[in-house]
Amino acid sequence: MSRRTTLIAVLAVSLLVLCGAWLTVALTIHRNSTQAADTSPNTAIGGAFTLVDTRGKTVTDQAYRGKWMLIYFGYTFCPDACPTALNNISAALEKLGSEADKIEPLFITVDPKRDTPQVMTDYLKSFDSRIVGLTGSKTQTDAAAHAYRVYVSAQKSDGDDYLVDHSAYIYVMNPQGKFVSVIPGDMAGDKMADQLRATMAHAGT
Amino acid sequence: MTYRLLLVLALSMCVGIAGQAPAQTPAASTIAIEQPWARATPAGAKTGAAYLTIINRGSAADRLVSASTPMASKVQFHVETNDNGIMRMRALPSVEIHPGVTVTFKPGGMHIMLVGVKQQLKEGQTFPLVLEFEKAGEIDLQIPVAKAGAMGVMKGM
């Protein structure tokens, strides 16, 4: 081996080690922060809601009793966080196989002005067909978001290009409609499936 | 969440270090673009997102000032922060690219937002996107489209 080759090899190995160290540290911190989010107090999250489904029919939370509700609040104008969460939910449902039959995945808009039943229907065609889109009047979606302690804040903008700040957690509710846990919307589908399977097994359903 | 920013930073640094090894960019351009991709847009969606990595191999700072594509009426740069579970998206007027630095646009961090999507971006297609830098000028790109909500161009990412 020439001196140059040795030098390059040594440099390459050092860089790999450096990368590894960075990743380990960053991932550990990230993991800890995720766990911290999962142990947040579970007092009074969730509750009754009345919304409108993608066929324009009024539905309430009672319609989903007996199933685990997996609720994500978002909006179709959102290009990054919402497709990430919906794609992760889709992957999790697929990974769960027949166990997904116990789950009712709901995508509730925080932007009913733009997200009409037709817009929601079209948008959701890109994701798992079991995901139910829910919209309604602003009063109805605000009430649902409020019940779930979801932070919603539309930014000021000219015209119809406004963005909406919103909580990016997926809420896991048991078949009695009670809050069980939150899953970060950016959790990969495989991991989400494992977590849901464990949650449902723990509850003995 | 600052931790997520840290992760992004750590990953960007790794990409930066790894990206500098081959040095295949022509001497003329100090700005290199790697791994551009976009997400397929759901039917009727008004917005889309593209992601890529920008490497400044020169000795002076440059600035990404604008971008355009025939697929959307306007293109913006956005940074997304996760503040205790609340996703906040903010437009950046431009993005400074310091010398020797790699800037990564990726889901959950910065993205190139296509506003007013004119036709649905479909998985498997590619579309043109022009980035304009203050010093390096225009860079023409062809952006491959991955599925809606994908985390990268490659399968399984």
CA A125 to chain B, closest CA, distance in angstroms equals 7
pLDDT of residue A12: 67
> Across the 205 residues of chain A, what is the mean pLDDT of every consecutive 10-residue run?
66 60 50 42 79 95 96 93 95 97 97 95 96 97 93 78 85 96 94 97 83
C-alpha B54 chain-centroid distance: 8
Among B1, B10, B150, beta carbon nearest to A87: B150
Burial (0-12, 13-18, 19+ Cβ within 10 Å), B85: middle
Q: A23: which residues sit within 8 A by CB, 6+ positions away? A: B10, B11, B14
- Structure confidence at residue A164 (pLDDT): 86
CA distance A168 to A48: 20
Judge if pTM exceeds 0.80.
no
- How do the residues of chain B divide into helix, strand and coil, expressed in percent and rounded to 5? 10, 50, 40
Give chain B's mean pLDDT: 84
Chain B closest-CA separation from residue A157 CA (Å): 11
Q: Residue A78, SS3?
A: coil
Question: Is pLDDT of B25 > 80?
Answer: no
CATH architecture, domain A50-202: 3-Layer(aba) Sandwich (3.40)
Does the interface predicted TM-score (ipTM) exceed 0.95? Answer: no
CATH value of B2-146 in 3.40.462.40, 3.40.50.300, 2.60.40.1890, 1.10.10.10: 2.60.40.1890
Q: Record the tokens describing residue A57, joined without a space.
A: 């029919």
Domain boundary assignment for chain B: 2-146
How far is CA B67 from each of CA A41, A99, A167, B48, B111, rounded to the nearest angstrom? 44, 45, 29, 14, 12
Q: Which residues of chain B have a CB within 8 Å of the CB of A186?
A: 82, 107-108
Residue A55 makes CB contacts below 8 A (sequence gap 6+) with: A117
Question: B85 vs A166: CB contact, 8 Å cut-off?
Answer: no
